[in-house]
Amino acid sequence: ASLGSGRDPDGLADGEVYGIYADPSAWSTGAGHALLIAAEQRITEAGHDRAYLWVLDGNERADAFYARHGWLEDGAIKIEERPRFTLREHRRVKTLAA
């Protein structure tokens, strides 16, 4: 898991989960859950009460995973043009502390 302070230019002062990566052989073993819970805890310990992350459009597995963990879509999108393709992502947010 990679995380830190939010990097978005829209001024969000939240924490951000930059990415969670598990080897496919570890999928459905609880490894991703453990990584996400640890990331949420570290972001909270850094003083952020909310966090966000970006999910590639069409990545239903990741969307379902984050939805099960309480991460909600907030309607923000970002589009990045690459030489031979376009990346389109949507943002999910979660309140970590009240």
Counted domains in the chain: 1
66: containing domain: 2-95
Cα–Cα distance measured from residue 35 to residue 19, given in angstroms and rounded to the nearest whole number: 10
For residue 27, what pLDDT is reported?
Answer: 86
For residue 98, what pLDDT is reported?
Answer: 59
pLDDT digits (tens, 9 = 90+) for 82-91: 999 999 999 9
pLDDT digits (tens, 9 = 90+) for 10-47: 756 789 999 999 899 998 899 999 999 999 999 999 99
For residue 14, what pLDDT is reported?
Answer: 87
Q: Residues of the chain with pLDDT > 70: what percent?
A: 97
pTM score, whole prediction: 0.89
CATH number at residue 46: 3.40.630.30
Question: Please, how many CA atoms are within 13 Å of residue 75, restricted to the half-sphere of its CB?
Answer: 0
Report whether 3 contacts 20 (CB < 8 A). no
Both tokens of residue 15?
Answer: 């924490």
Place of tokens 């570890």: 26
* Non-local CB neighbours of 65 within 8 Å, separated by 6+ positions: 32, 36
pLDDT digits (tens, 9 = 90+) for 50-71: 999 999 999 999 999 999 999 9
